[in-house]
Amino acid sequence: MQHDSIIAREGYPFILPLAIFSVSAAVLGAVWSAMGLSCITMFVIWFFRNPERQTPDVPKMVISPADGKVIRIEDVERNDLIVGRFKKISIFMNVFNVHVNRAPYAGQVRSIVYHEGLFLSANLDKASDNNERNSVVIRTDDGRDIMAVQIAGLIARRIVCWIKEGMGVSKGERFGLIRFGSRVEVYLPSDSMVVVKVGDRVRAGETPLGGLS
């Protein structure tokens, strides 16, 4: 199924009722209520925006899977869905960012694992391990693993993943979204080059995070 509409379809269950309430309030003469509801409706429409992006066609380049701010870069050891040493890049998405996520690299989806958890503020380090999250492992053509983890936040209560295990994905392809503020983490092979730094603003599907060796 295509996910390239200008508004992500997951937004319509929120947008349509708000629009109906706004019109109803206006018809009933509740001017201030109508204005408030209209503002909320416009914000929700804007939140679920799904813009086109131009993904750089550069071999071995890894691009950001999310809009937001880089809040942590670290070397970590994993022994679960992926095994070995990895560079982890954490990106915090506030409510004003585009929340559609994109594949950081091309390959085959090796595994997708959903984890139940808490809803701590997504900018906290412990949110990485304690919050509700969805892990997507992409196996590159040369056999390396890259993992993107969608993490729910304090307000975000719904992680959406559009892809399935065994599917092939293209770099920059939309693969899901998280509603209303969250975090996405990317795990790259330990010998990868990282070109972003903490504090950088990134855009899904466009901003290079680094490159594979």
Asked if 107 and 146 count as a contact pair (C-beta separation under 8 A), the reply is: yes
φ, ψ dihedrals at 75, nearest 5°: -95, 130
- Detail the DSSP E strand segments found in 116-167: 133-139, 145-152, 159-161
Asked if 84 and 92 count as a contact pair (C-beta separation under 8 A), the reply is: no
Q: Is 182 a catalytic residue?
A: yes
Report the alpha-carbon distance of residue 114 to residue 100 in Å, rounded: 18
Catalytic annotation, pick one of 64, 128, 182, 192: 182
Q: Give the CA radius of gyration of the chain.
A: 18
Tokens 């890049």 correspond to 89
Angle at 114 between CA 81 and CA 159, to 5 degrees: 130
Q: Catalytic residue positions?
A: 182
